[in-house]
Structure 1
Amino acid sequence: MNSMRAVVFAYHNVGVRCLKVLLARGLEVALVVTHKDNPAEKIWFDSVAALCAEQDIPFVTPDDPASPDLIAKVRAAEPDFIFSFYYRHMLPAGLLALAKHGAYNMHGSLLPRYRGRVPINWAVLHGETETGATLHEMTAKPDAGAIAAQVAVPILPDDTAHEVFGKVTVAAEQALWTVLPAMLAGHTPKLPNDLSKGSYFGGRKPEDGRIDWLQPAQTVYNLHRAVAPPYPGAWTSLGTRTFIIAKARLSRQQDLNLPHGLGVKDDCIYGMCGDGKAIRIDELLENDKPVSPSELQHALECAQRHPDTTITQE
Structure 2
Amino acid sequence: MSKPRILFFGYSEVGYECLSLLLERGDNVVALITHEDNPHEKIWFKTPAGAAKEKVIPVFTPAGVNTPEWRERIAALQPDLILSVYYRHMIGTKILALPRLGPWNMHGSLLPKYRGRAPINWAVLHGEPRIGMTLHRMVKSADAGAIVDQEGVAIGPRDTAEQAFRKVLPCARIVLARQIDALLAGTAPETPQDESQATYFGGRTPEDGRVVWTQTSRQIFNLVRAVTDPYPGAFTEVNGVRLMLWWAEPDSPAARGRHGRPGEILSVAPLVVATGDGALEFTRTEWRGLAPALQTGQIL
Q: When the two structures are superposed, what TM-score results if normalisation uses the length of structure 2?
A: 0.91
1:282-293 residue pairs with structure 2 within 5 A? 282-287=283-288
1:75 corresponds to: 75
Secondary structure of the corresponding residue to residue 37 of structure 2: coil
Structure 1 residue 260, shift from structure 2 partner: 4.2
Separation in 2 of the partners of 1:190 and 1:25?
Answer: 24
Separation in 2 of the partners of 1:154 and 1:262?
Answer: 35
Structure 1 residue 280, shift from structure 2 partner: 2.6
Secondary structure of the corresponding residue to residue 275 of structure 1: coil
1:248 corresponds to: 248
2:281 corresponds to: 280
Between the two proteins, what is the percent identity of the paired residues?
43
- The change in CA–CA distance for 1:161 and 1:262 in structure 2 (over 3 A counts) is farther
Counterpart of 1:279 in structure 2: which amino acid? L
Contact 1:146 1:190 in 2 (8 A): yes
Which stretch of the first structure deviates more once superposed, 73-82 or 108-117?
73-82
Secondary structure of the corresponding residue to residue 29 of structure 2: strand
Residue 236 (1) aligns with residue 230 (2): no
Structure 1 residue 71, shift from structure 2 partner: 1.9
Separation in 2 of the partners of 1:47 and 1:143?
Answer: 22
1:40 corresponds to: 40
Structure 1 residue 178, shift from structure 2 partner: 1.2
* Unpaired runs of at least 5, structure 1: 289-294, 305-310
Structure 1 residue 22, shift from structure 2 partner: 1.4
Structure 1 residue 241, shift from structure 2 partner: 1.4
- The change in CA–CA distance for 1:262 and 1:174 in structure 2 (over 3 A counts) is farther
1:1-314 residue pairs with structure 2 within 5 A? 3-253=3-253, 254-256=256-258, 260-261=262-263, 263=265, 265=267, 267-276=269-278, 278-287=279-288, 299-301=293-295, 312-313=299-300
Count of residues in correspondence between the two structures: 298
1:81-131 deviation digits (Å, cap 9, x = unpaired)? 101110011101111111110000111111111111111111111111111
* RMSD (CA atoms): 2.3
After superposing on structure 2, the runs of 4+ consecutive aligned residues of structure 1 that deviate more than 6 Å are: none
Separation in 2 of the partners of 1:271 and 1:17?
Answer: 41
Contact 1:25 1:180 in 2 (8 A): no
Separation in 2 of the partners of 1:38 and 1:68?
Answer: 25
Q: When the two structures are superposed, what TM-score results if normalisation uses the length of structure 1?
A: 0.88
